[in-house]
């Protein structure tokens, strides 16, 4: 009997070499995906951006991007611009791990609060954000161009209540 080696997940900063795989995942998940130029800007030129990926290594040693997040540190607020998990890796806590990681990094850099937009039709994402203490503070009518769907603006007013600064180890600088 052969015992399957468990998948190994690891977070690291997004690199230029990741963009093709991130873009492929983005196009498979979102009806209005970001462009290659957008990701190149986030990785190479946007000083407010701190994008991360979660990579998985399978039993044969093949490495694949399982999830990614693009946060922007805007003075004392972090804006979660994009967060996605590949369908085959959902329900494994990857979005939670990435979100906790980037909120912790933002708190260490002085962010006091966090914001994001989420589709009104995405209760799974809304529940994830609510588990961190995000609350719906506004509705952006017809925010999404693909179908005119509303976005819920969610906000977390005090990052420090999560204990992120004390409990998050310092991450490697990008």
Residues serving a catalytic function are 117, 129
Q: Give strand pairing partners of 83.
A: 69
At 43, list the tokens.
């990785």
Helices (H), the chain: 19-29, 36-44, 94-108, 123-131, 164-167
Distance, CA of 68 to CA of 141 (rounded, Å) = 26
Per-residue CA distances from 139 to 115, 148, 164 (Å) = 13, 13, 28
For the stretch 98-111, what's the b/e string if a residue is b when 16 or more beta carbons lie within 10 angstroms of its beta carbon? bbbbbbbbbbeeeb
* Angle, vertex CA 85, rays to CA 80 and CA 86, nearest 5: 150
User: Distance between CA 46 and CA 14 in Å, rounded?
Assistant: 13
């Amino acid at each position: 009997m052969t015992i399957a080696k468990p998948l190994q997940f690891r977070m690291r900063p997004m690199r230029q070499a990741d963009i093709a795989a991130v873009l492929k995942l983005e196009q498979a998940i979102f009806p209005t995906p970001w462009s290659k130029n957008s990701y190149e800007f986030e990785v190479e030129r946007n000083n407010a951006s701190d994008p991360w990926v979660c990579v998985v290594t399978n039993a044969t040693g093949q490495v694949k991007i399982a999830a990614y997040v693009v946060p922007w540190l805007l003075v004392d607020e972090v804006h979660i611009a994009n967060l996605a998990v590949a369908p085959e890796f959902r329900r494994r806590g990857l979005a939670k791990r990435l979100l906790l990681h980037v909120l912790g990094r933002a708190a260490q850099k002085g962010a006091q609060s966090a914001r994001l937009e989420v589709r009104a039709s995405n209760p799974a994402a809304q529940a994830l954000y609510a588990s961190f203490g995000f609350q719906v503070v506004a509705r952006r009518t017809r925010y999404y161009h693909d179908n005119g769907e509303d976005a819920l603006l969610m906000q977390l007013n005090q990052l420090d209540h999560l204990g992120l600064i004390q409990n998050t180890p310092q991450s490697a600088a990008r």
